């Protein structure tokens, strides 16, 4: 009974204070706003508060804290892995303003903005962000580290964060930067949503000219040769390139180019900050060993044109299982494990198995960098499975679990927050020292762990240094 009174009190308080809208179960917009993009969970918050501005964010945090209700934040919901059952779900989708400052090569964005908004706003000035998939939210991507198409040239998106306005756990609105609350500025550049709710971000933009992007598809029988050569070639990959090799089973659908339709393929995924001639010259050793492609989708484009081509069309909401491991070298044994996955019934539900090269500017550390971990590890392997129906869920989860078990002998034990599907592994996204520093800051800024329905970093106990 006490809990029900608190929930009703929360809705009443928020409606009295909010400029935005407040929705309870039964309201027309409740279901649309409560559901994340990743449908592995079906959250049932007591209240969905759709903020219209920073003061709404402040009031939502204060209300949840004062009534001791669970609190969560969501925009696109791509990074939502824990339900906000019985709590306050703050939805920031309406706060999507984007303002480019071409003189200072920066952009200020609201927490509801997605990368396509920023790419479109920056393009007329010949500028681009360190963006990822166009339909993904800027805030969650950046706070989680953010590895994008220009990251081998310019580093992680988190390291491009100049300042952030956020509401901290005490319900206060603060601007954090190198000059104001520098310890918080360090923490939010890779520490996820553990230290506050973003109300705006200011990010660097970068000059960009013609780029080359797309996928080159080969028959899956070329996978062993391509993966082996890729492991050797990657050590000298120019920073202008961002590449990966992906094993996929292509659906038998009209949208898939006919030569690849309904068959297993190995794809060379390429983004080059440069012309097609530059890209193909750098890729020559890989193209030679891969042989004749089924489909050559590489093309020279503007950055704004390349973003949807490289990221693909927005995928409709689905239940997604994803596992990432970082690896130091591509051994013959790892190549055998990767290529065997396509034909193994135990991993038949995998959507994709991707070997990605990181490195470049992401591997060059600076004293000012945020806590994005494991910058020295050159490769990752990402196993992904999607389920669009209830019947597909168990095979999808089992296939990813099997792939993860087989990849473990080659893994460093580290991971990357943006691709982490298991909140229990949060600590593995950081170095030991950075994780300890983050926990110590959490004890200062959120000792009650108000911001816990996320990839949570718990506050250090009083006895810990």
Write out the DSSP string of 160-185.
GEEEEEEE-TTS-EEEEESSSSHHHH
Residue 371 lies in a domain: yes
Q: What CATH number has the domain bearing residue 57?
A: 3.30.43.10
3, pLDDT greater than 80:
no
- The whole-number average pLDDT for the span 158-173 is 98
- Residues 72 and 112 occupy one common structural domain: no
Confidence (pLDDT) at 111? 98
81-102 tens-digit pLDDT: 999 999 999 999 999 999 999 9
1, pLDDT greater than 50:
no
- The whole-number average pLDDT for the span 410-415 is 98
Between the alpha carbon of residue 322 and those of residues 12, 38, 283, the distances in Å are 39, 11, 28
- Residues 267 and 360 occupy one common structural domain: yes
- Residues 157 and 289 occupy one common structural domain: no
Residue 85 lies in a domain: yes
DSSP secondary structure of 17-42: H-SSEEE-TTSTTHHHHH--SBTT--
Phi first, then psi, for residue 132 (nearest 5°) are: -115, -145
Per-residue pLDDT band for 255 (boundaries 50, 70, 90) equals confident
289-300 tens-digit pLDDT: 999 999 999 999
Residue 192 lies in a domain: yes
Confidence (pLDDT) at 464? 74
Query: What's the mean per-residue pLDDT of the chain?
Result: 95
Phi first, then psi, for residue 360 (nearest 5°) are: 60, -140
- For 351, the token pair is 């959507």
Strands 352-357, 241-249: pairing is: antiparallel
Per-residue pLDDT band for 153 (boundaries 50, 70, 90) equals very high
333, pLDDT greater than 60:
yes
- What burial letters (b/e) apply to 398-412, b meaning 16+ CB within 10 Å? bbbbbbbebbeebbe
Phi first, then psi, for residue 4 (nearest 5°) are: -65, -40
- Residues 373 and 409 occupy one common structural domain: yes
- Residues 49 and 14 occupy one common structural domain: yes
Residue 462 lies in a domain: no
Between the alpha carbon of residue 214 and those of residues 128, 271, 340, 361, the distances in Å are 18, 7, 25, 22
Q: Are 339 and 227 in contact (CB under 8 A)?
A: yes
DSSP percent split of the chain into helix, strand, coil, nearest 5: 35, 25, 40
- The whole-number average pLDDT for the span 400-405 is 97
* Sign (positive or negative) of CA dihedral 213, 141, 395, 327: positive
- Residues 221 and 117 occupy one common structural domain: no
Q: Are 453 and 82 in contact (CB under 8 A)?
A: yes
- The whole-number average pLDDT for the span 176-182 is 97
Residue 387 lies in a domain: yes
Between 309 and 386, residue with greater pLDDT = 386
- Residues 78 and 124 occupy one common structural domain: no
Q: Give how many domains the chain has, as a whole number.
A: 3
- The whole-number average pLDDT for the span 405-409 is 97
Q: What CATH number has the domain bearing residue 160?
A: 3.30.465.10
CA distance 123 to 201: 19
Percentage, residues of the chain above pLDDT 70: 98
Helix (H, G, I), strand (E, B) or coil at 125: helix
- Residues 66 and 155 occupy one common structural domain: no
- For 63, the token pair is 């209300």
Partnered with residue 149 across adjacent β-strands are none
Domain boundary among 91, 107, 135: 91
CA distance 37 to 23: 19
Residue 106 lies in a domain: yes
DSSP secondary structure of 73-101: EESS-TT--S--TTSEEEE-TT---EEEE
What is the distance, to the nearest Å, from the Cα of residue 329 to the centroid of all Cα atoms in its chain?
Answer: 24
Confidence (pLDDT) at 169? 98
Partnered with residue 163 across adjacent β-strands are 177, 202
Point out the least confidently predicted range of 28-32, 84-88, 119-123, 251-255. Answer: 251-255
Domain boundary among 91, 122, 141: 91
Domain boundary among 38, 69, 91: 91
CA distance 270 to 356: 11
Helices (H) and strands (E) in the chain, counts: 13, 19
- Residues 321 and 180 occupy one common structural domain: no
Residue 463 lies in a domain: no
Per-residue pLDDT band for 171 (boundaries 50, 70, 90) equals very high
Partnered with residue 217 across adjacent β-strands are 267, 295
Confidence (pLDDT) at 2? 46
Phi first, then psi, for residue 86 (nearest 5°) are: 70, 10
- Residues 87 and 111 occupy one common structural domain: no
- Residues 187 and 105 occupy one common structural domain: yes
Confidence (pLDDT) at 308? 80
Q: Are 325 and 380 in contact (CB under 8 A)?
A: yes
**Domain containing 185: what range?**
98-207
Q: What CATH number has the domain bearing residue 420?
A: 3.40.462.20
CA distance 138 to 107: 11
Per-residue pLDDT band for 110 (boundaries 50, 70, 90) equals very high
- Residues 244 and 341 occupy one common structural domain: yes
Q: Are 322 and 356 in contact (CB under 8 A)?
A: no
Between 156 and 343, residue with greater pLDDT = 156
Residue 429 lies in a domain: no
């Amino acid at each position: 009974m006490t809990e029900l009174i608190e929930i009703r009190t929360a809705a009443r308080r928020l409606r009295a204070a909010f400029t935005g809208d407040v929705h309870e179960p039964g309201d027309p917009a409740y279901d649309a706003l409560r559901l994340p993009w990743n449908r592995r969970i079906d959250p049932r918050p007591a209240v969905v508060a759709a903020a219209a501005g920073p003061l709404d964010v402040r009031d939502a945090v204060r209300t949840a804290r004062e009534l001791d209700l669970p609190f969560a934040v969501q925009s696109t919901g791509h990074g939502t892995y824990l339900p906000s059952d019985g709590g306050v779900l703050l939805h920031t989708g309406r706060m999507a303003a984007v303002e480019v400052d071409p003189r200072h090569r920066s952009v200020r964005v609201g927490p509801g903005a997605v990368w396509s908004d920023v790419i479109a706003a920056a393009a007329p000035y010949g500028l681009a962000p360190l963006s990822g998939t166009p339909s993904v939210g800027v805030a969650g991507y950046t706070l989680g580290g953010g590895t994008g198409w220009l990251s081998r040239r310019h580093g992680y998106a988190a390291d491009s964060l100049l300042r952030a306005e956020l509401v901290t756990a005490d319900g206060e609105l603060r601007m954090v930067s190198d000059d104001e609350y520098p310890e918080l500025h360090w923490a939010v550049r890779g520490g996820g949503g553990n230290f506050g709710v973003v109300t705006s971000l200011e990010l660097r933009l970068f000059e960009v000219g013609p780029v080359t992007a797309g996928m080159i598809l080969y028959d899956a029988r070329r996978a062993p040769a391509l993966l082996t050569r890729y492991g050797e070639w990657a050590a000298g990959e120019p920073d202008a390139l961002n590449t990966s090799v992906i094993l996929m089973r292509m659906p038998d659908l009209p949208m898939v180019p006919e030569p690849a339709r309904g068959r297993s393929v190995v794809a060379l995924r390429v983004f080059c900050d440069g012309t097609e001639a530059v890209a193909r010259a750098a890729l020559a050793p890989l193209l030679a060993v891969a042989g004749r492609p089924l489909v050559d989708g590489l093309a020279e484009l503007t950055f704004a044109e390349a973003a949807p081509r490289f990221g693909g069309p927005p995928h409709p909401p689905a239940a997604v299982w994803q596992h990432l491991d970082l690896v130091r070298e591509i051994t013959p044994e790892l190549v055998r494990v990767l290529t065997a996955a396509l034909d193994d019934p135990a991993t038949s539900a995998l959507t994709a198995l991707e070997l990605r090269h990181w490195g470049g500017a992401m591997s060059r550390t600076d004293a000012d960098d945020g806590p994005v971990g494991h910058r020295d590890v050159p490769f990752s392997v990402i196993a992904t499975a999607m389920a669009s129906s209830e019947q597909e869920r168990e095979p999808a989860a089992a296939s990813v679990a099997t792939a993860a078990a087989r990849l473990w002998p080659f893994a460093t034990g580290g991971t990357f927050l943006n691709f982490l599907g298991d909140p229990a592994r949060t600590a593995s996204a950081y170095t030991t020292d950075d994780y300890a520093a983050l926990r110590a800051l959490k004890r200062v800024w959120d000792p009650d762990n108000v911001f816990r329905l996320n990839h949570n970093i718990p506050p250090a106990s009083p006895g810990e240094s």
